[in-house]
Amino acid sequence: MPSEPLFKIATREQWARTRETGVFPGAPVDHADGYVHLSTAGQVRETAARHFAGQMDLVLLWVAPDRLDEAIRFEPSRGGDLFPHLYGELPLAAIERADPLSVDFSGVHVWPDDLPGAGEAT
């Protein structure tokens, strides 16, 4: 199991529901695919650019993989890159922090300064 945080991009509504229920409800794509899509620090920027371009109601969830009881599997996705997929629910207790994910004047996401690889391009 990785020790570095994993990331989930959620809407503010999904994050509010997670705080109320104690479990991330999953996005429609998660329900359709049968697992919660997560990203590593090196993948999350491209995930945002591809699937959340220009969207402003987002939250970046920092997930501690060692707090998950469910299985995380690294499986091929975009271009054969291995992405973390959580087969089970994402409990609130596994979410270390949540940062608003805003966009700048050009519609590009603004990342937290301490996100690993923050100086890298998306």
In this prediction the pTM is: 0.90
pLDDT in tens, 76-117: 987 888 999 999 989 999 999 999 999 998 888 999 999 987
Q: What is the CATH number of domain 6-104?
A: 3.20.170.20
Q: What confidence score (pLDDT) does residue 120 get?
A: 43
Count Cβ atoms within 10 A of the Cβ of residue 103 and give its class: 0-12 exposed, 13-18 middle, 19 or more buried.
middle
Half-sphere CA count of 75, side-chain side, radius 13 A? 11
Average pLDDT over residues 38-45: 94
Give the residue carrying structure tokens 């009881």.
69
Asked if residues 85 and 71 have their Cβ atoms less than 8 Å apart, the reply is no
